[in-house]
Every structure is written in C-alpha cells, then in structure tokens.
Amino acid sequence: MSHFSVSFDRLAEAPAGPVRVLELHGELDAHTAPDFEAALDACLAGGDARLVADGSGLEYVSSAGLGVFMAYVEPARSGGGDLKIAALSEKVYEVFDLLGFPTVFDMHATVSEAVEAF
C-alpha cells in the first residue's frame, strides 16, 4: 500500500497576505489522492485560496495525483489565489514537465520563491 501524508497547518507571509503551504510526503497515487483532495477542500472551504504545494517530500506522483492538481487550480484561481507547486525533486519534476504542467502552473525551485510570487 502507498504511503502518503499531507499537512497544511503552515501559513507563510507573502506580499499579498498569508499563503497556506501544503507539505506533501510519500507517494501521491490513486489510493492516496483522496487525502490530498480533502486537504485542498479544507483549505478552500476555510477561505485559503493562496496555496503552495511543497513537493520536497513527494517521492512519486501518478496520473491520479496529477489530476488532483488539475482539478483544484481553477477553484483556487477563481477564489482570488492560485495553486503553486514548489521544491519538486528532479525525478518528480520530470513527470510534471513531461505532461506540460509548467505551462499551466506557476512552478518554483523553493517554497520561499513560490510564496514570494503571490
């Protein structure tokens, strides 16, 4: 079974105001995608639309995991924010890049850079 966790209790300050940082750890796949969806739902329901996905602990992402990112970028943007992706390992970044995510998402090398981009 896949192991995955997401914590979203971290707030960072950006020029535009607070940014919710979601720290992803483990394998984001069909079995674990609902955990990521639940975290994103909770953030958006709580009024947090400025979101950064910290992928420094993400070891693997499947098409189901990528689908979660795609499903939540527009709700974040229509809520006045965005869903930025940061700190991916080279191996995981290659998957995002292969599927054209850098043309849709604001992607950064570090969480700090992503936060400052708001």
Q: What is the DSSP string of 43-81?
A: HHHTT--EEEEEEEEEEEE-HHHHHHHHHHHHHHHHTT-
Average pLDDT, the chain: 96
46-74: average pLDDT: 97
pLDDT value for 15: 87
pLDDT value for 16: 87
pLDDT value for 62: 97
Q: Pseudo-torsion of CA 90, 10, 13, 54, nearest 10°?
A: 10
66-73: average pLDDT: 98
pLDDT value for 71: 98
Nearest-CA neighbor of 27 among 56, 53, 65? Answer: 65
Q: List, in order, residues 6 or more apart from 3 with CB less than 8 Å away.
A: 26, 27, 32
pLDDT value for 1: 61
Q: What is the pTM of this model?
A: 0.95
pLDDT value for 33: 97
